[in-house]
């Protein structure tokens, strides 16, 4: 029987550090489930000082929890097997990983189409959109048709559940900056596709960074940002390189207007803001609010301003704001 469901998801354009948060919180749950996306997502976590990257397998595997890849996900079998080998070599129990029978399979044709036709949108060229297209056209291949039965999930959700989102609000297929979006529902209500009632949701935990980043093409992140020496310093100090593609992420100052809108749209009750230590290393504290660039004397003043905006903003129902720096800790 399901006791409760908490959902972790991104409030920006991805790469907010969701994997780190899920990995740290997983020890308090019975199951960790992924509901959207495929190998276009990359979650990086640190365990005992060692760095691990996963792309489809939920970060709960690092805490020894039963992990489910949901029906809204798409799977590249070869890449998944690579992750399983990596986890096995690191002595994590991969038998805890199960896949919903209705998850869809990415083929070589999907990848080839992506590379040939979708590069102008800045996709990761992983075949995600073509796979979802075939799913919607009712001609896709589902996991139950090709995977060994021991990998297929029995559909039973039990105990306390933590759901791990991939990508973010502004990459959502319906609410993001179309067409520069992903091909699935990134909003937290998409997690209900795993098979639970919305009434079971206890907490919506939204993740952001104290500055904004974007992988790939997006008019909201103009190419002129590459010319800013401080933003380039943030790229290097923050390690802002895509987990999936390795390409540099464009950086801009935190757009508080967009963050507030994302919170209103998705309804999160708790916000965690990562990478505060990066700005402290740079020594420059700026954000955009009311379409104006604001600068603060120190990180403390900037945090206070953000907290007040999130806790007391009109139409905002956030009851807790946390700030994080060390990538190995919340």
Strands (E), the chain: 2-10, 31-34, 43-47, 50-54, 66-69, 74-75, 97-99, 104-105, 159-168, 201-209, 211-214, 250-255, 270-274, 285-289, 292-296, 320-323
276 closest CA partner among 247, 310, 306, 248: 306
Residue 200's pLDDT is 96
pLDDT at 204: 97
User: What pLDDT is stored for residue 227 in this prediction?
Assistant: 95
Is 291 within 8 Å of 257 (Cβ atoms)?
yes
- Residues 228-248 have pLDDT tens digits of 999 999 999 999 987 666 788
pLDDT of residue 124: 84
| Whole-number Å distance between alpha carbons of 151 and 37 | 19
The predicted-structure confidence for 12-56, as pLDDT tens digits, reads as follows: 999 999 988 999 999 999 999 999 999 987 778 888 888 888 999
CA-CA distance, 289 to 209, in Å (whole number)?
15
The token pair at 218 is 């997006």
Residue reference for tokens 């290393």? 281
Pick from 79, 181, 171, 184: nearest CA to 121:
181
Q: What is the pLDDT of residue 329?
A: 52
Tally the residues of the chain: 330
List pLDDT tens digits, range 96-123: 999 999 999 999 999 999 999 988 887 8
The structural domains of the chain, ordered by start, are 2-209 (3.40.440.10), 211-323 (3.90.170.10)
**Residue-level pLDDT at 327:** 53
| Tokens coding 131 | 């796979």
Sites in the chain below the pLDDT cut of 70: 243-245, 326-330
Strand partners, 75: 105
Q: Which residues are catalytic?
A: 15, 43
């Amino acid at each position: 029987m399901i006791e409760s469901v908490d959902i972790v998801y991104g409030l920006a354009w991805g790469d907010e550090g969701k994997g780190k948060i899920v990995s740290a919180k997983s020890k308090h749950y019975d199951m960790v489930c992924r509901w959207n996306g495929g190998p276009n997502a990359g979650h990086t976590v640190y365990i005992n000082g060692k760095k691990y990257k996963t792309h489809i397998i939920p970060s709960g595997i690092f805490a020894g929890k039963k992990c489910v890849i949901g029906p809204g996900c798409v799977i590249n079998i070869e890449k998944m097997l690579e992750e399983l080998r990596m986890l096995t070599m690191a002595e994590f129990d991969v038998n805890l990983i199960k896949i919903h029978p209705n998850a869809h399979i990415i083929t070589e044709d999907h990848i080839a189409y992506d590379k040939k036709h979708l590069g102008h949108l800045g996709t990761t060229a992983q075949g995600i959109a073509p796979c979802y297209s075939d799913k919607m056209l009712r001609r896709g291949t589902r996991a139950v048709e090709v995977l060994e039965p021991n990998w297929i999930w029995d559909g039973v959700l039990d105990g306390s559940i933590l759901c791990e989102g991939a990508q973010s609000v502004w990459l959502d297929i319906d609410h993001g900056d179309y067409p520069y979006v992903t091909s699935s529902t990134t909003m937290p209500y998409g997690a209900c596709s795993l098979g639970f009632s919305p009434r079971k949701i206890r907490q919506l935990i939204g993740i952001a960074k104290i500055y904004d980043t974007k992988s790939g093409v997006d008019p909201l992140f103009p190419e002129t940002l590459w010319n800013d020496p401080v933003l380039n310093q943030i790229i290097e100090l923050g390690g802002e390189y895509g987990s999936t593609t390795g390409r540099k992420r464009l950086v801009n100052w935190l757009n508080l207007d967009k963050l507030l809108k994302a919170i209103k749209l998705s309804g999160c009750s708790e916000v965690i803001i990562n990478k505060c230590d990066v700005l402290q290393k740079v020594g420059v504290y700026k954000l955009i609010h009311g379409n104006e660039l604001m600068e603060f004397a120190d990180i403390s003043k900037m945090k206070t301003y953000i907290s007040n905006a999130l806790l007391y903003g009109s139409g905002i129902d956030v009851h807790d704001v946390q700030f994080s720096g060390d990538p190995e800790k919340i």
